[in-house]
């Protein structure tokens, strides 16, 4: 596995790469990519770390695993490549932004523009086999991304964690609420959103208010 991340991450997570679980995980991922179609592309597996350094991070959004359809996943949670149709969860994210802060619904679903402003778009599992959601769960990725969350919590201050849905909300146990802000809502998937658990959460305006209170620029959502 060719690990490509911003060098600023090395002090936080390089030790994870030396642990037995990560060696086994790397072997599994290589085997999967050699034998099956998997997403995202190998060079994009660590895109969340490539585009947002820990020092620049302001907001952390936690997803579950990458999109499993062709041409969708780009290594950033909830994000798709430019020109790709927006999956339902991303549609609902953009609709909430539109309602919350009046930002027009965008044509481009690539959220790299958020990452470059300091939004860490972190899936708990960084790879998936094509058309098989959850196929790379419980192989070691969760150990790695949980360690990332814990170390960010311990070493940074004032981060805004957006936890959407039951899976993400469980990650609150890894975060020090005395040091950081935790915003919780239902998942933006249609099943949750149509039951009233997503729309109206106002996370995007809340995040910018919390950033501005700390003397930081808000995110251009």
Q: Establish whether 110 is a catalytic residue.
A: no
147's tokens: 């360690």
Q: What is the b/e burial string over 47-74, where b = at least 16 CB atoms within 10 angstroms of the residue's CB?
A: bbbbbbebeebbbbbbbbbbbbbeebbb
Q: Is-contact 158 181, C-beta < 8 A?
A: yes
DSSP-assigned states of every residue in 14-32 = GGGGGSHHHHHHHHHHHHH
Please provide residue 210's backbone torsions phi and psi, each rounded to the nearest 5 degrees.
Answer: -65, -40
Catalytic residue (one of 65, 110, 176, 217) = 65
33's tokens: 């990519």
d(CA 212, CA 218): 6
Nearest to 41 by CA among 17, 63, 72, 18: 72
Helix (H) or strand (E) holding 164, with range, is strand 160-164
Residue 72: helix, strand or coil by DSSP? coil
Give, as one character, the DSSP assignment of residue 195. Answer: T
Residue tagged 């936690």 (tokens): 62
Residues with catalytic function: 65
């Amino acid at each position: 596995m060719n690990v490509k991340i911003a060098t600023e991450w090395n002090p936080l997570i390089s030790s994870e790469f030396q642990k037995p679980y990560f060696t086994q995980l790397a072997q599994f991922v290589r085997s999967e990519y050699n034998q099956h179609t998997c997403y995202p592309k190998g060079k994009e597996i660590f895109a969340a770390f490539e585009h947002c350094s820990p020092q620049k991070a302001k907001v952390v959004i936690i997803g579950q695993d990458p999109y499993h359809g062709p041409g969708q996943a780009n290594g950033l949670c909830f994000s798709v490549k430019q020109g790709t149709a927006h999956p339902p969860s991303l549609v609902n994210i953009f609709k909430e932004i539109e309602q919350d802060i009046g930002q027009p619904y965008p044509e481009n679903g690539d959220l790299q523009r958020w990452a470059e402003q300091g939004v860490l778009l972190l899936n708990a599992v960084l790879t998936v086999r094509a058309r098989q959601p959850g196929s790379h769960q419980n192989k070691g990725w969760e150990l790695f991304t949980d360690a990332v969350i814990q170390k960010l919590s311990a070493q940074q201050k004032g981060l805004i964690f957006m936890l959407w849905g039951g899976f993400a909300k469980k990650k609150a146990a890894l975060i020090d609420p005395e040091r950081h802000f935790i915003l919780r809502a239902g998942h933006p998937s249609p099943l949750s959103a149509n039951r009233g658990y997503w729309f109206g959460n106002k996370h995007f305006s809340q995040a910018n208010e919390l950033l501005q209170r700390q003397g930081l620029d808000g995110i251009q959502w």
